[in-house]
Amino acid sequence: MTILYSFRRCPYAMRARLSLVLSNKSVQLREIILKHKPEAMLQASPKGTVPVLIEKDGHVIDESLDIMKWALEGSQLLSSATSSMHLLIKENDDAFKGWLDKYKYADRYPEHSEIYYREQGEIFLEKLEQQLINSNRLFSDEFSFADLAILPFIRQFAFVDIHWFNQSKYQRVRDWLTNFIDSELFLSIMKKYPTWLESNQEVSFPENNTNITN
């Protein structure tokens, strides 16, 4: 059985789980905590980040975007992913994620204020706001590869200071995020599982009764 090491609140792991729910593949999910990574995971992927997917033949995929591609192989979601989508995801993973971390942990980066870091992150929010002028999601009214890859990070940004976010000028981004958070798709990836190390139980993911279409 294919194994996925995952951490519920990690946005990279979330995008991997989102793709799995929308694919016809299932895995054994091993919930971990970052402070206590299973030895078997580190042996498979010594860099020690989640998500990590291990195929039946032992092949290891330890980059979230590669896990998305693996899950969505042959699907419309992947075949319709354009270079503009990949560019936007790259901007999310490089510049935006950097500012998100500094905004979230501003006390660890005293060179600038929390508001400064938030403003740097807002450059990307503004870009998404423009992107959402013509459709409810980033590239059409349906979830695309880019929405799935980016939304978990916007959620994290929003929750650093949800009061600020809820009254911010990014109305379209706010609606886009709310719609996602309220979706069955999102609920299906946020179920709580005991950690694999503690419970020693493998969990099938997605759960059998999940039948969510995009």
Ligand X SMILES: N[C@@H](CCC(=O)N[C@@H](CS)C(=O)NCC(=O)O)C(=O)O
Applying CB under 6 A, the residues found at the interface with ligand X are 10-12, 34, 48-51, 63-64
**What is the nearest approach in angstroms of ligand X to the Cβ of residue 170?**
23
The smaller minimum CB distance to ligand X, of residues 45 and 144, is found at 45
Q: What is the C-alpha separation between 210 and 196, in angstroms, rounded? A: 21
Q: For every residue of 52-84, which 3-state class applies, written as one string?
A: EEECCCCCEECCHHHHHHHHHCCCHHHHCCCHH
Q: Give me the least distance between CB of 113 and ligand X, in Å please.
A: 24
CB of 18 to ligand X, least distance (A): 13
Cβ proximity to ligand X: between 7 and 180 the closer is 7
Residue 64 CB, shortest distance to ligand X, in Å, is: 3
Nearer to ligand X, 19 or 64 (CB): 64
* Residues 153, 97 contacting (CB under 8 angstroms): yes
Is residue 6 within 8 Å of 32, Cβ to Cβ? yes
191 SS3 class: coil
Which CB atom, from 12 or from 99, has the smaller least distance to ligand X?
A: 12
